[in-house]
Amino acid sequence: MAVAAEALVRDKLYIGGEWVDPAGDGTIDVVNPSTEEVVGRIPEGTPEDADRAVRAARAAFDSWAGTTPDERGELLAAVGAKLNERGDELAALIATEMGMPLKLTRMIQVGLPTASFAMIPQLIQEVVWEEEVGNSVIVREPAGVVAAITPWNYPLHQIANKVAPALAAGCTIVLKPSEVVPLNAFVLAEILEEVGVPAGVFNLVTGTGPVVGEAIVAHPETDMVSFTGSTRAGRRVSELAAQSVKPVTLELGGKSPNVILDDADLERAVTDGVAKCFLNSGQTCSALTRMLVPRERLEEAERIAATVAETFTPGDPFDDGARLGPLVSETQLERVRGYIEKGKAEGARLVTGGSEPPEGREQGYFVSPTVFSDVDPKSTIAQEEIFGPVLSIIPYDDEEDAVRIANDTVYGLAGGVWSADEERARRVAARIRTGQVEINGGAFNALAPFGGYKQSGHGRELGRYGLEEFLVVKSLQL
C-alpha cells in the first residue's frame, strides 16, 4: 500500500500530562479511504501503557473531583473555543482519515464536538448537585476513573460525548479511540493540554480493542466504562466490566424504522428518509435504514427513493460535488457489498445501486447508493445493521402492522414517524420501542438524551442526561 508524501506520524501517547513513549514498538497505519494511501501512523498501545494511563487517572482523581463544577466548566468551554479555532484543520484531517465530504465534516464531525464542550457551563447549571429529601441531603458526586472506548464513524463527536461530560462531572478519564480514525484524538489531547487541564485528568492510549480496550475496562482502578461501538463488542465490554461490577454505559447498533403513515406527504417523507439513511455513507448507528410505507403506495415510494438516491454522488470528500464519501475501510466495503448480495439472494428487489463500485470510483472504498424494495421484514438486510448506504423499503398493510414491523428487531436506537396529523404521529411514536423518534423529520437535538432500548444499549449521552451518567448519588442522613 502506498504511503502519502505527508503522512502524519504520531509516535507518543498522552499519559499523566506528558507526551510519552509507548511501552512497545508496534504501530498502526491510518489509511485514507478515498485513495487507499497510508496517511498516518500511531502507536499500537500495550497493556503496560493502559496500566500507566489508568494509574495516572487514579492519582489525579481526588484533586480534580475537588474542583468546583464552575471551574471545570470554564476549562471545558475553553476547549470548545480552541476546537473552533482549529476547526478547518480538524475538518480536513477527519475528511482525510474518515471520508465524509468536507462541508459536512466541518458542520457535523467538528461542529458537534465543539458544541459538546462549549455547552458544558450551561449543563452544569441544570444538574441538581445537592437537594434535601426529608431528613437527608442528596449529593451527586463524580463516579471516578472512566474507561472510554469510542468508534470511528463520528470519531471526535463520540470522544467529546464522553470526555466533556465525564470531566464536567469531576471524573478523570482514559480514552481508547478507534484505531481506524484516530488522528483527531491527538489534536484534542493537544488542546486539553494547552488550556491547562491538570496532569492525569485526561489520558490518551491508542491501540486495538482486544488489547488496550480490554485492559482499561478490566483494570481494577477504573470505576466505570463508557463504550460506543458494535453490539458484539458491547457484549464483551459488559462481560469484562461485570468481573469487578463496574457500571457500563453502552451505545451500540441500530436498525431504525422510518414509519411513513398513509396520510403523510410521501414526496417529503421519502426524500428526507433517504438522506437520513445515507448520511455519512450510511455509517451512522441511528440511520433510518428501514423505510416502512403503505403497501398501496410502494411503487410511488420506490420511484421517489430511486430519484433521490441517484443524487447522492459518490466522490472524494474534497470535491465540491461529492455527496457520498467512501466507506471507512476495505473491511467495511466487503461487508456492505456482502449484504447487498445477500439482499438480492433473499429475494429483495434492487431498485438502484448494487455491489459494483460506482462509475469512475474503482480506487477507494466506494459503494453505490443502494435501494431495495419489497423487503421481507424477517430478511437479513431488514434485521442486521449494514452500516453502508443501503435502504430497505418495507411495505405494510395497516398501522398495527407498521408498529409490529417497526418493533420486530433486536435493536431500539432511533426511528421516525411521518403523518399529516402530528398527534397521530406522536401516538405511533409512543408505541415504537426506541430511545429517539423523529416526528415528521424533526431535527437532531444535541441537548436531548441519545441512547437505546434492547440490544442498542443502555444509558444516555448528550445534554444534562449525558453528564448525569458520570455522577453517583449519595445520601447524607441528618
Q: Mutual orientation of helices 111-118 and 155-169 as an angle, nearest 10°?
A: 10
What is the DSSP track for 226-259?
Answer: EEES-HHHHHHHHHHHHTTT--EEEE-----EEE
Sequence-distant (6+) residues with CB within 8 A of 16 are 52, 53, 56, 59, 60, 199, 200, 203
State how far the Cα of 440 lies from the Cα of 295, in Å rounded to an integer.
20
State how far the Cα of 403 lies from the Cα of 383, in Å rounded to an integer.
15
What is the DSSP track for 104-122?
Answer: HIIIIIIHHHHHHHHTHHH
The three cell numbers of residue 416 are 421516525
Known active-site residue 285: yes
State how far the Cα of 370 lies from the Cα of 302, in Å rounded to an integer.
12
Known active-site residue 277: no
Q: What angle do CA 475, 242, 230 make, to 5 degrees?
A: 110
Query: Which residue's C-alpha cell is 481508547?
Result: 176
State how far the Cα of 431 lies from the Cα of 293, in Å rounded to an integer.
17
Radius of gyration of the chain (CA): 22
Candidates 179, 214, 251, 461; catalytic one: 251
Helices and strands in the chain, H and E counts: 17, 21
Write the CA distances from 191 to 12, 90, 226, integer angstroms.
Answer: 16, 12, 22
What is the DSSP track for 301-317?
Answer: HHHHHHHHHTTS-B--T
Say if CB 166 and CB 76 are below 8 A apart. no
Sequence-distant (6+) residues with CB within 8 A of 243 are 218
Strand ranges in 178-223 using DSSP code E only, listed in sequence order: 202-204
Query: Which residue's C-alpha cell is 458484539?
Result: 232
Q: What angle do CA 19, 24, 30 make, to 5 degrees?
A: 75
Candidates 37, 214, 277, 285; catalytic one: 285
Residue among 98, 127, 125, 128 at smallest CA distance from 110: 98
State how far the Cα of 387 lies from the Cα of 277, in Å rounded to an integer.
10
Count of C-beta atoms within a 10 Å radius of residue 378: 11
Question: Which residues does the annotation mark as catalytic?
Answer: 251, 285
